[in-house]
Amino acid sequence: MEWLILLTMVGGFVFLVLVFRFPKGIALAISSAAGALVAGNGLPIRHLVEGSFAYLDPILIIATAMIFMKVIEGSGALGTLSRQIIEGFHGHPVLLLWMVTLFVMFPGMFTGLTTASVLTSGALIAPSLTHLGLPRDRAGALIAMAAIYGMVAPPIDLPAMIICGGVDMPYIGFEVPLLFATLPLAAVVPLWIAYRHLPKTDLDSIRPNLPESYWKRYGLLLYSPIIVVVVLMLGIRLLPAVFPNLRVPLIFMIGSLVGLFSGKRIPLRRTVLESIKDALPVMGILVGIGMFIQIMTLTGVRGWLVVGTLQLPEVLTYLGIAVSVPVFGAVSAFGSASVLGVPFLLALLGHNEIMTASGLSLMASLGDLMPPVALAGFFAAQVVGEPNYFVVLRRCIVPALLTVIWGIVLIAFANPIAKVIL
């Protein structure tokens, strides 16, 4: 019976998204209700409402983080930083690629969204990369992969938060493991994609195409919102006796308020409305995922999945993670983290939970490269002016395989790695 319920829920969701083009959040809610009906539970309004609030904390983080990113983008801070990176590291290709990667990762690190990285810092740096002579397909692949790693890097890793929520594990102590999961890839993958294809270009010839710099006008004040957010986040973890635990959404709101007075004048109302509009699809997905998981628990599907996963030989468990978690992410990286990440974590309870969850979140993030949706690849192709996003995705195949291998290494050797870095 459980397999029929799961097939109804997953199949219904895929059908509604791919055939009728329903928003993913609404499709998740409808497929959850359909699963309850097939299981004979009727329409359990209480469980659907309760599930919709399961990921309230990540939803608040997304909303406030998007406002923060829009504020520092509107103030001129992101554009100035982009120009300073190109001008400062133009003569050092390796350092330039590393700094560009970190710059693209930055919005994703604070929002947990690949689209935030691609459409803000990625869009700002894309013209500079193409004017430097980097082919558009490789520039798009660089931006897409950096956005993937930004999604997983600390402090905000939404797939890891979802996995933790599914097993009632606190999202604490993930900073170093997530850095260990992403920084080696962020160092190697950009060189693989772009180093041999980055010709030497005269800086003066591309300077007119760089974003405008506001450094002379505002100086370090321009970066004060970023400094405030980083200090408050690190202070809570490193000096809890000195820094009050303001929680992440409030920290982002404080940073946004500082950003109103740090650079260019920002139309506050329009900025907030645009931010929430951009964040609504992802917040809707998290609401739908909460319903989905609640109904899976109610109908026994979640327990059935866990028991079935526990019975797999360890080798098949790793193979299942390597294939199913990224592929299911084509529907939703967050859905992959909740539907598959949770049972796989429970199946590997002998491994260090933090390292395992970090590895699983890395694998789930690759869902944003999986067609037909492929959010990271699709938007990366747009910002570099490449009409066929499959050309960009083709350049991401080898980096994605490297990411899968690294993720499996993190999971398989979670205990010895944890002894070294934790």
User: Which residue from 116, 90, 422 is spatially nearest to 252, judged by alpha carbons?
Assistant: 116
Reply yes or no on whether the pLDDT at 243 is more than 90. no
Side chain identity at residue 334, one-letter code: F
Show Cβ contacts of residue 70 under 8 Å, excluding neighbours closer than 6 positions. 271, 272, 274, 275, 278
Give the model confidence (pLDDT) of 309-318 as tens digits: 778 787 888 9
Q: For residues 321 and 317, give the distance between their C-alpha atoms in angstroms, rounded to a whole number.
A: 6
C-beta separation of 285 from 24 below 8 A: yes
For the chain, give the percent of residues with pLDDT over 90: 58
Reply yes or no on whether the pLDDT at 205 is more than 90. no
Domain that holds residue 267: 2-421
Number of domains, the chain: 1
Per-residue pLDDT, averaged over 165-187, amounts to 93
User: Which residue from 321, 353, 349 is spatially nearest to 417, judged by alpha carbons?
Assistant: 353
Per-residue pLDDT, averaged over 37-63, amounts to 92
Most confident of 87-96, 213-222, 319-328: 213-222
Look up the pTM and report it. 0.87
Query: Across the chain, what does the average pLDDT equal?
Result: 90
Reply yes or no on whether the pLDDT at 415 is more than 90. yes
C-beta separation of 285 from 25 below 8 A: yes
Return the minimum-mean-pLDDT range out of 77-91, 104-118, 229-243, 269-283.
229-243
pLDDT of residue 118: 92
Q: For residues 141 and 374, give the distance between their C-alpha atoms in angstroms, rounded to a whole number.
A: 12
Side chain identity at residue 243, one-letter code: F
> How many CA within 13 A on the CB side of residue 268?
7
